[in-house]
Chains A and B, each alone.
Chain A
Amino acid sequence: MSNYPQVLFKNRRPGETVFLDAYVAAGGYAGLKKALKTMTPGEVTATVKAAGLRGRGGAGFVTGLKWSFFPADHPGEKYLVCNGDEMEPGTYKDRQLLLADPHQLIEGMLIAAYALQVPVGYIFLRYAYEDCARVVEGALAEARRAGYLGPNILGSGFSCELRLHRSAGRYILGEETALLNGLEGRRPNPRSKPPFPAQKGLFGKPTTVNNVETLANVPHILVHGADWYQGLALTEKSAGTKLFGLSGHLNRTPCVELPLGVPLGEVITEHGGGVRQGRAFKACLPGGASTPFLTRAHWDLPMDFDALAAAHSRLGTACVTVFDEGTCMVAATLNLNRFFARESCGWCTPCRDGLAMVSWLLEKIETGRGVQDDIAMLQDQLRNISGRSFCALAEGAMGPVEALLRLFMDELEDHVKKGRCPFR
């Protein structure tokens, strides 16, 4: 198996959590010390920007650029929020990261808090991640005792508090403005943008929201530099490594750290051990349930933000779910769409009613009751929903539907023609 540099998982040991002593012994908190003692907040942001780190929560926005929009010099209340909601089916990387090495997130958040000059940060964790919540609580207490967290950190004059927020389950909380409403104790519908959170976020104050994995990268960038970080990726325009959570019809389904730009075929054969039971690869979701399918034609595609966008898909969270040759893609898309329809917050009509309509159409076709017009109606729904919803949930939900219509039209028509699912 390819032996790639391990950055985020360098301390990971099976079934164990690295706490403070081991984290510091492995070089932990050196990035925070460097930032606080030798760099201005602006220099920290510039370094993260130069490194080319892009958000690991799915959208892939350039992190340093996001930070540069933040009014760090604005006096008064400001917030940093770590999005640990992670409820996209197929995506479980942040859980692995937090359970393995929670201080990486805390150090990353403290460096980000210094760059943004925010005195309070929140770690937002989903209900199902109680194991992570306990680990993070323990790590926060350790960091506080050791002077890395709280007032006057390491004698630098910079103070920051980090608080843990446990949620109670709903996918929409991953949307950053819905998450902010949830943190405020409001019903977590997404907010209208603009104003963006950088201007008016948590409690009406400037706020930056970053994913767990994004923030965990920051200490390493500070210690080793922007050039080193860029050099980790296999493709020229990419930077860094990425956590890939494998799932579906593979022989092995681990969460692994690989360089950005690693070919899809290598992910499947080397790291996932190939498709199980010796079957052929049919398709995959490259980065969670909202990313359009890839097929065998994409086998050599480099797994990075740009190459996936060029292939009409998205890197998303880079958590790859594989389907073998025996999978009915109509049934798979129906399962995906039912998830999104159920998790719609109901705020806007295209999402609330449109996704339910798509589920109804897909179910009709899958159960052999579909007619040719239903396929045309699916295409209509694609046009009616995509780009017309209040937030990105419905847009994401239509990703696999769009790919089904583009890549697997023959399967849809076969269902209609035979009046049954040809895979059952």
Chain B
Amino acid sequence: MQELLPQEQINAWKERLAGHHHPMELAVDVLRAIQDHHGWVPDTGVELAAELLGTTPLRVEELATFYDKIYRRPVGRWVIHVCDSICCWSRGAEEVVGVLREQLGIGFGETSADGRFTLLPTCCLGACGEAPAMMIGLTTYGHLTAERIGEILAAHRREVGP
């Protein structure tokens, strides 16, 4: 398993948090940093965040389980958040979900056999003028069609490699 956070980043967080008037203000940032490096936030990640923030694992867990972009279970290299809110729904989100399920061979909450993609539904992505839309990582893709979805997935497959 990949380390939770490189030691130099742990040191940098310690330094930054030590000088911070309200360390918990950075709780989401610390969780996001662990997730960015490790892929998801395991129990040991919650414990590390608590140690860095000077709080209890329970208080960190309260946050980690609240936000839908913090993953408390293993996910694929890329998490696909596909919007099922009203604007995307009105412009074919159900069909988009069908295409994704078919092309990836998985349902919601599952990870593709090659470990590349996890598929999750999400609320509005704020791309209502480009509906239907999805987000992979931190990038939003709008005006989705079956063809465009195929191209986007292929580009991600190329980036990750075999």
Contact = CB atoms under 8 A, between A and B. Distances in A.
B25 A165 contact: yes
B157 interface: no
A246 to B, nearest CB: 7
Contacts of B126: 86-87, 91-92, 95, 126, 128-129
Interface string A320-346: 010100010000100110110011010
Interface stretch (B26-34, B102-110, B111-119): B26-34
Interface string B124-140: 11111111000100111
Contact of B24 (A130, A167, A186, A339): A186
B89 interface: yes
Contact of B66 (A170, A184, A319, A327): A170
B63 A185 contact: yes
A335 B89 contact: yes
B62 interface: yes
Contacts of A167: 28, 67
Contacts of A327: 90
Contact of A87 (B26, B86, B123): B123
A90 B128 contact: yes
Contact of B128 (A89, A171, A332): A89
B82 to A, nearest CB: 12
A185 B26 contact: yes
A166 interface: yes
A188 interface: yes
Kindly state the interface size class of chain B when it binds its partner: 35 or more
Given A128-B140, A245-B129, A319-B128, A183 B86 contact: no
B24 A92 contact: no
B68 interface: yes
Given A169-B67, A184-B22, A339-B86, A89 B124 contact: yes
A254 interface: yes
A126 B125 CA distance: 9
B121 to A, nearest CB: 8
A285 interface: yes
B86 A321 contact: yes
Given A332-B86, A345-B66, 6 more contacts: A128-B126, A185-B63, A245-B128, A247-B131, A285-B86, A332-B89
Interface of B: 22-29, 31-32, 53, 59, 62-63, 66-70, 84-87, 89-91, 122-131, 135, 138-140
13 contacts: A88-B124, A90-B86, A90-B124, A95-B126, A131-B140, A165-B25, A185-B25, A185-B59, A186-B63, A253-B131, A319-B128, A332-B86, A342-B123
- The list of the 4 closest CB pairs from A to B, nearest first, reads A185-B24, A168-B67, A185-B27, A89-B85
